[in-house]
Amino acid sequence: MPDGLGQLARGLDIAVETGDVVYVPRLHQTRAELLLYANRAADGDVEASLQQALAVVRQQGAKGYELRAATSLARLWRDQNKRTEARDLLAPIYDWFTEGFETPVLKEAKALLDELQ
């Protein structure tokens, strides 16, 4: 796992150096998922990566990536018994969409929202 995290850090560095930041949110989200998978990171590290992913996608205006990052963060918050915060984060982003409800990312977000009700 350290190799994967190291490669992600290198990818983030390269993206920032070159100004090619389109994949930065996904890299942050992947970092958070690796940290969760490794089960050795504090939730704060995971949350920080997901918050960074959200910040970048919001600057980019990339709603699809924003929904992915928000779903991951909402799932983390659900697991931390922060259900209200999770729903408050995810619901407005999900509600922005007017089509594509059969796509996996929207189905996953909807299932999580239903669980948070």
Q: What is the pLDDT of residues 26-77, one digit of tens each?
A: 888 888 878 777 765 566 788 888 898 899 899 989 899 999 999 999 999 9
Which whole number is the average pLDDT over 102-106? 95
pLDDT of 100 above 70: yes
Q: Are the C-beta atoms of residues 74 and 86 closer than 8 Å to each other? A: yes
In degrees, rounded to 5, the angle at the alpha carbon of residue 113 between the alpha carbons of residues 91 and 42 is 90
Task: Tell me the CATH number for domain 2-116.
Answer: 1.25.40.10
**CA gyration radius for the chain?**
14
Domain residue extents for the chain: 2-116
pLDDT of 23 above 90: no
Q: Model-level pTM?
A: 0.78
